[in-house]
Structure 1
Amino acid sequence: MSRILRRSARASSPGQPGRLAGLVSGPLAEVQLATLVLTLGTGAWFTCWAVFFTRSVGLSATSFGAGVTAAGVVSLVLGSPLGYLADRLGTREVLVCLGMVQGLATLGYLLVSEFWGFMAVSLVAVTAQRIAPGIRVALVAGLTTGGDRLQAISTNRVIQHVGLTVGSALGALVLVLDRRAAYLALVVLYAVLNLAAAMLTLRVERVPPVPRTPGGPGMRVLRDRPFLLITSLSGVLALNWGVLDTGLPLWVTTHTEAPLWTIGVLVTGNTVAIVAFQNRVSRAADKVAGAARLGTFSGVALAVACLLFALSYQRGGMVVVAVLLLAAAVHTFGELLFSASGWGLSVGLTPDEAHGEYQSTFAAGSATALSFAPMVMTTLLVGWGVAGWLTLAGVFLAGALPTVPASRWALRTRRQLEAPG
């Protein structure tokens, strides 16, 4: 599999074969392979888990949502401390532990038969799943330097989307079968793939931990107000991930006359565009200033997409399909800019000795958005209709416009944060 990744890299970038191949070779090959294995399971599981818990286990939609939201809150609280621990003990080691915990906790779903059991297992499994991405970015950052760092992180996201796409196809097959035995088999598969990814990560070259300097700052990210502001702004923009996977399906089925297959086309097009263009877009975020500008452009693009989605209200025929395709294309453009901006800002503003701490905190913003996105999308798009899209456009602009001044503030305060105390 590692050889396949290296061959794909050489084939996909004839202009820079050596450089891009290096992003999926050596120690990075094991990280990317672990990511591929993990996301195969993630794509399959998250395609089915809501149906499994509501139809097979018998939870209400409200109970299911409450459990997931609670886990999101826990991940928000634990993200920074575990990131700080990763810097002290090693990002590889903490990531392996999270993978093991998630895999073993997932097996607990086999025994769930009521709400409190689901809550207990989810608090462990979902929390580990939400915290791990920040630690993984910190690991990749620790294994790379210079311009390769951002491109390696971007490549990791491309591989994530490949795995998620293939995995979601497997999940769709499980939904077609719609048998408890198939769901339980998927639980086991997801747990095994988590454990396999953890074992692959254990083979990655170790990033030396950074011991705490006596008398130096503790969790410095909590004193870094500009970075916390940027994290919050990014969390607002991260709601865009809830548009295609939650908001748009609800909108299409309740407020338009578009055929249902349109949803599949829009989601597939989004995935293909990210795989094709994410690395190219990310090159513009190699400096903090450039990344901040991309963040602003991202919010504007997402706001325009919302306005276009609103135009599909109560429309049918090929007109609504064309409007939805155009809106989804603009949304995908905004998502590409958002992801690149987030990496450029979070990595560019992170001290070299605190990648785990900073990346875990930054990832908490996205985790929070993922926790609340279903509720936000249901309220705005199903309940408010066109007014919901207009409100969401305003939310994206509010998250984007302060990004440039916030990044300038962050750059001005870097030296102060290096001082002990």
Structure 2
Amino acid sequence: MTVDGERRVGETVRAAERRRVVRPPLAALLPEPGVVTALTWATACRTVGRGLFVTVSVIYFTSSVGMSAVEVGLGLTIASAAGLLGGLPAGRLSDLFGPRGVTVAFSAAGAVLTCGYVVVDGFAGFVLVAGLATFTEAAEQTARSALIGVAVPPDRRVKARAYLRAVTNVGWSVGGLGAAVALHYDTRPVYLTMIFGCSACYLAGAVLTLRVPAARTPSRTGDGPVRAVLRDRPYALLALLNGVLSVHGGLLTVSIPIWVVERTAAPTATVGVMLMLNTVAVTLLQVRFSRGTENVAGAARAQRRSGLVLLVSCLLFAASAGRSEWVAVAVLAAGALAHVVGELLQAAGSWGLSYELAPAYALGQYQGFYGMGYQLANILAPALLTAAVIGWGEAGWVLFGVVFALAGLAVPPVARAAARTVTVG
């Protein structure tokens, strides 16, 4: 080859490399084509609907239906308990018949049940509809986790979950903005429109899920999946430890608002800023923080670090009491930053562990079982955090910080034990 020919080849290669490396800034925010794109649009529709409903629901039930705040709170607690029952059967159905169909079925059922809220006229009806809706939501989440597990290549599942969590945050925010319209007008027709809009979003999410290729978990003769997951003690312990770490979700939504108002000199608006910071950070950083957690060792390290960082956040929140206004704001902001880092690490680690330690023949069942720890945390967190943090003050923050740290430190040895017993097929 001549010198000119070699130069032209070199220039062609370098040009190709530049085209491959340099991407428009917006392209980095877009999902990978194929399965993840289909899941993205389905997730976006579903979470916009969820954001609509959660934002207006309590006001709708109290101001339009006429229920008391105590009745709504008690009903939601009972409904959350019903959600604990949804994961295991949905996981079993996903393993038997394929997770895509199960996801679509429960998502469509959720759309129908959401419409049931428009005929609720008292506590009994509210508990019935909310319990069934929460059951189907938990079942749909389990089936969707199994769908990601079988439709996305193993080395890309965690990244896909991270991306979809960022999409979830955006969807909730968009839904919350839409719900602000209903809260502004505060009339029953507008509230009903929001509820029907939420139902339509759920149904659209179900239809869009059909774009994901159908796939089945491999079958296995011998012991059934139910027996396998219930006797896998290391995996059960990991689900419990993840549940303990997941209690962090109640810090910003339950403890901090009361803490800021009652125990610090910081302005009340600080709470909103902290929540916004959390939402933006999760949206922009979840994918980055999920790197390296695709295997058991990396996922376990992430959860160990999560526990330690959450300890730091709790100590910072405790230190905000008794400070001057701007010092309190600065300390709370530092605590919020530490908290969101712990949250990002906890979530990334949970996906790696829940997938990599689940045998392929029972992937759905294991996802349902692992998710029960998170659901249990959602039920217990409000009461535990209120009693400890608000009742005991700084000592309560320290207590929860130590619990987070101990849970995180326990994850790696338990994960190693689980890895020694996991079977592939």
Query: TM-score of the superposition, structure 2-length normalised?
Result: 0.89
Aligned to 1:177: 185
- Residue 349 (str. 1) matches residue 357 (str. 2): yes
Question: Residue 200 of structure 1 is aligned with which of 197, 205, 208?
Answer: 208
- Residue 133 (str. 1) matches residue 133 (str. 2): no
Matched position secondary structure for 2:245: helix
Question: Residue 377 of structure 1 is aligned with which of 379, 385, 395?
Answer: 385
For residues 148-187 of structure 1, what are the alpha-carbon distances to aligned partners after superposition, in whole Å with 9 as ceiling and x for unaligned? 2211111111111111122222223432333333322211
- Residue 146 (str. 1) matches residue 162 (str. 2): no
Matched position secondary structure for 1:369: helix
Aligned residue identity for 2:305: F
For residues 68-113 of structure 1, what are the alpha-carbon distances to aligned partners after superposition, in whole Å with 9 as ceiling and x for unaligned? 2222222223311220111111101111111111111111110111
Equivalences for residues 113-262 of structure 1 within 5 A: 113-211=121-219, 213-219=220-226, 220-262=228-270
Taking the aligned partners of 1:93 and 1:172, their CA distance within structure 2 comes to 34
Aligned to 1:68: 76
Aligned to 1:269: 277
Deviation larger for 184-193 or 200-209: 200-209
Contact 1:285 1:294 in 2 (8 A): yes
Matched position secondary structure for 2:225: coil
Taking the aligned partners of 2:212 and 2:279, their CA distance within structure 1 comes to 28
Question: Aligned-residue CA RMSD in angstroms?
Answer: 2.0
Residue-pair matches, total: 402
Question: Residue 402 of structure 1 is aligned with which of 396, 401, 410?
Answer: 410
- After TM superposition, give the deviation of residue 45 of structure 1 in Å: 1.6
Contact 1:131 1:364 in 2 (8 A): no
Question: Residue 48 of structure 2 is aligned with which of 40, 44, 49?
Answer: 40
Aligned to 1:318: 326
Matched position secondary structure for 1:285: coil
Deviation larger for 58-67 or 96-105: 58-67
Which structure has the larger Rg over C-alpha atoms? 2
Matched position secondary structure for 2:248: helix
Aligned residue identity for 1:265: V
Aligned sequence identity (%): 38
Aligned to 2:63: 55
- After TM superposition, give the deviation of residue 13 of structure 1 in Å: 8.4
- Residue 93 (str. 1) matches residue 101 (str. 2): yes
Contact 1:103 1:191 in 2 (8 A): yes
Taking the aligned partners of 1:55 and 1:125, their CA distance within structure 2 comes to 21
Contact 1:72 1:130 in 2 (8 A): no
Segments of structure 2 that go 5 or more residues without pairing to the other structure are: 1-22
Taking the aligned partners of 1:172 and 1:247, their CA distance within structure 2 comes to 24
Contact 2:86 2:138 in 1 (8 A): no
Segments of structure 1 that go 5 or more residues without pairing to the other structure are: 1-9
Misfit runs of 4+, over 6 Å? none
Taking a change above 3 Å as real, the CA distance of residues 339 and 11 of structure 1, as seen in their structure-2 partners, is farther
Taking the aligned partners of 1:414 and 1:399, their CA distance within structure 2 comes to 22
Contact 1:131 1:363 in 2 (8 A): no
